[in-house]
Amino acid sequence: MQSFRTELENPIVEQEIIELAEKIRKYRKGEMPEEKFKSLRLARGVYGQRQAGVQMVRIKLPFGKVTFQQILKIADIADEYGSGNLHLTTRQDIQLHYVSLDRTPELWSKLAEDDITLREACGNTVRNVTASATAGIDPNEPFDVSPYAHRTFTYFLRNPICAEMGRKIKISFSSSELDTAFSYIHDFGFIPKIRIENGKEIRGFKVMLGGGLGAQPILAQTVHEFLAEEEIIPYMEATLRVFDRHGERNNRNKARFKYLVQKLGLEEVLALIEIEKKAIKNKTVVVDRHSQISTNLPTKEVSEIEPQDPLAFELWKSTNTFQQKQEGFYGVYVNVQTGDIPTEKARKLIAGVRDHIADDIRITQDQNLLFKYVRKESLVHIYEALVALGFGKPGYNSTADITTCPGTDTCNLGISNSTEMARVLENYIHEFHQDFIQEKEFKIKISGCMNSCGQHGLAHLGFHGSSVKAGTAVVPAAQVMLGGGTVGNGEGRVAERVIKVPTKRVLQVLDLLLSDFKNNQAAGQNFHAYYDQQGKDYFYKLLKPLADLSNLTADEYLDWGHEETFATAIGVGECAGVLIDLVATLLYEAEEKLDLADLAIGKGQYADAIYHAYSAFVWTAKALLLDKGLSVSTQAAVLAEFDQHFIAEDLFTLPTSFSERVLQINKYEPSKEFAETYLLQSKAFCLEAAERREELKAVVQ
């Protein structure tokens, strides 16, 4: 591993990077268990790739905001450490591929110089906080949600309550009731609202809870029609404490928050949240409303020029631009096919537009870019620069603008090549269905497997990778999903599985559906209404001939973009992190938690210290239960089982039950006195547990 040096101003980040390098060294020497190391690197944005020996690095960009300098820095990093490509994601991140594990600390160090983090971009924690790309300039918004998204990001970054949960948590802020950040598919979804009280405007949010896509999509439920702005972060904190304690930890397929709501019922979950409110760090969190306002606006005088192709420009302008709420300025969308920007194009893009836009670019949830504060005189300049780079296609957010995950290009879980399918379908629409370039009520989304990274479950027409048996052969297939999408104000629809067809027939699926919709829809009828009118069985019958496997051609045995015979070579996915059930690893983590608690008390961070001490209690108890061959799936169950198998059998002596001792955590305010007392109790328990374990080992021997 190469040595590296960082000139970071933030000592916490500097220490984290040094620690990552040290952990990699220990892992390489066999001094750190595989599962522990995997969890650690995921929490630092380093994700296993389909190709052996290289990693995907996910760069966490809160609400998709990125500056000129940051894009240029990421491009330099992609050239030096990766494949020379920037991949924009549906969660407004940027991903780099083909990175050597040993070089990730050095890579992180260089990114941190420009205030870019990898921390908690993957793993069982709060993922990137997303928001409508138009936040701050949206003509429909009650107020700018960017400051709230940013404060949520900073509040939960490195926060012990969400450092090692059973699964990930996803949060979104929509700019208006149009719900362009898809609140209904998130663990927490927020839609801005304003109330008038005594003649004064009061800001707040409609709160959606417990949504998620994946293989089993579940729509979020409304838990607050209006929650005051200063209460939303405390509400999330209390909820995360509930999820951490009661969420599933053994079966990761059932470990998302949506399943906890399903298991306990919304009423019980809400009651548990109320109990936790007493112990949270802050009862209110005030957000600086002006913290994320764009200030670096274009200042250079620009003369308006004539477009080389006036008709093409007018079409692009009609689909890819809009007038901001700030008079005299436009927002401009950039279509980035499959979300991929080669580094050479990234540099030329910035050079071509930086005099014409604000230094505040947003990555959109559909893998495109949004430029802000563009003057009318600059529109043609920007258009010509985009055309020269291949980013000047019209049809943003239309049928011709397809969202996709990386699929089998790099993902361990990918079944099919979703990116090549997306390119083929987009190009086909531009050539043969040009009237749909302006249709924004029929969206196509593609995932390489059923896990919905391409958001196929919320598409009007969705595809996910699959396979079918044809005799002794396995044929690449696409599961066709219909009828999903955003309704508005927190309401959404999950697409229904209709039929599975060989993947090379998706163009025929597209032809049939678009032609049928175009020819039979009522005047002004959108696809949701048309789908409901016709019914699922109508579309099944329409597409059924395409599922016939008796007439397969040689080409249909091959996946898009491939010349070799198709095989469902699926690896082990890491999106949800990993489960840590090794006894030694749990005890090691408990020791780390006690050290972190000591440090937190020294800094006056009493709530953090209490939560670290709580984690040490739980990890130690779980390790002892595992020593007895007992595997439990939630932290709450750990407490109950420890009482039954250790306290009831007098293997430990406590003045109360173990559950009562540990659950003091939600009975007291996070004061210095309680933090010191609780930590002392946790240390005593962990010490006694180590002694008991040694005694048991001696008996066994």
The residue among 339, 163, 313, 156 whose CA lies nearest residue 236 is: 156
For residue 42, the SS3 value is helix
- At residue 108, what is the residue type? W
The residue among 428, 427, 317, 432 whose CA lies nearest residue 380 is: 317
Model pLDDT, residue 2: 42
Q: What is the mean pLDDT of residues 377-398?
A: 97
Give the model's confidence band at 32: pLDDT under 50 very low, under 70 low, under 90 confident, else very high: confident
CB 156 within 8 A of CB 128: no
Give pLDDT tens digits for 260-318. Answer: 999 999 999 999 999 999 999 999 999 999 999 888 899 888 999 999 999 999 999 99
The two structure tokens encoding residue 698: 């001696």
Share of the chain above pLDDT 70, in %: 95
Model pLDDT, residue 1: 39
Model confidence at 697: pLDDT above 70: no
Give pLDDT tens digits for 76-130. Answer: 999 999 999 999 999 999 999 999 999 999 999 999 999 999 999 988 999 999 9
d(CA 340, CA 360): 19
Q: What is the mean pLDDT of residues 382-387?
A: 98
pTM attached to this predicted model = 0.93
The two structure tokens encoding residue 567: 């095989």
Helix (H) or strand (E) holding 332: strand 330-334
Question: Of the given ranges (322-326, 372-376, 553-557), which has the lowest mean pLDDT?
Answer: 553-557
Domains of the chain: 11-112 (3.90.480.20), 130-279 (3.30.413.10), 310-389 (3.30.70), 403-557 (3.30.413.10), 583-700 (1.20.120.330)
Give pLDDT tens digits for 190-240. Answer: 999 999 999 999 999 999 999 999 888 999 999 999 999 999 999 999 999
The two structure tokens encoding residue 445: 């989304």
For residue 322, the SS3 value is strand
CB 212 within 8 A of CB 492: no
Model pLDDT, residue 193: 98
Model pLDDT, residue 16: 84
Give pLDDT tens digits for 35-44. Answer: 778 777 888 8
- At residue 188, what is the residue type? F
CA angle 649, 650, 654 (to 5 degrees): 130
Q: What is the mean pLDDT of residues 591-607?
A: 95
Q: Is 549 exposed, middle or buried (0-12, 13-18, 19+ CB in 10 A)?
A: middle
Q: Could you tell me the CA-to-CA distances from 108 to 38, 77, 134, 154, 168 in Å, in that order? A: 17, 9, 29, 18, 22
